[in-house]
């Protein structure tokens, strides 16, 4: 499993170029679906977007590989909101150079999506 997660992350990192939602979609905030990202990728060979677009690409490819994949919303060291992909405690994060374990990041975790499309989000309780 870890090998596949690492392969998906490596592919995303090579193809991903950070651009704001305003630059990509003409809106202050926009969550693109995997289909939109893949259409653009087919045209340009690249993935453009912000953290939630990186996470969407990763979640989609994790699920297509038969692995659990979901979104996690958090706050980073600066207090800014951020979105990452998660699979069995492994975090795929456009800010990192490699797959990290959930406990290895200095983030404040707030909520997670379900592992399947359409499932509800859940708050992460602080202990």
- Structure tokens of 58? 């990763």
User: The domain containing residue 50 runs over which residues?
Assistant: 2-123
CATH of the domain at 28: 3.10.620.30
Domain count, the chain: 1
**Predicted confidence (pLDDT) per residue in 8-39, tens digit:** 999 999 999 999 889 988 999 988 888 888 88
The predicted model scores a pTM of 0.92
**Predicted confidence (pLDDT) per residue in 56-107, tens digit:** 999 999 999 999 999 999 999 999 999 999 999 999 999 999 999 988 899 9
């Amino acid at each position: 499993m870890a090998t596949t997660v690492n392969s998906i992350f490596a592919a995303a990192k090579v193809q991903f170029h950070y651009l704001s939602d305003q630059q990509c979609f003409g809106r202050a905030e926009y969550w693109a679906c995997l289909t939109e990202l893949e259409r653009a990728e087919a045209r340009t060979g690249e993935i453009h977007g912000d953290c939630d677009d990186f996470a969407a690409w990763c979640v989609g490819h994790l699920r297509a590989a038969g692995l659990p994949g979901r979104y996690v919303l958090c706050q980073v060291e600066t207090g800014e909101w951020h979105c990452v992909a998660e699979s069995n405690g492994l975090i795929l994060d456009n800010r990192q150079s490699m797959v990290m374990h959930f406990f290895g990041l200095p983030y404040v975790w707030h909520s997670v999506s379900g592992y399947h499309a359409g499932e509800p989000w859940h708050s992460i309780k602080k202990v």
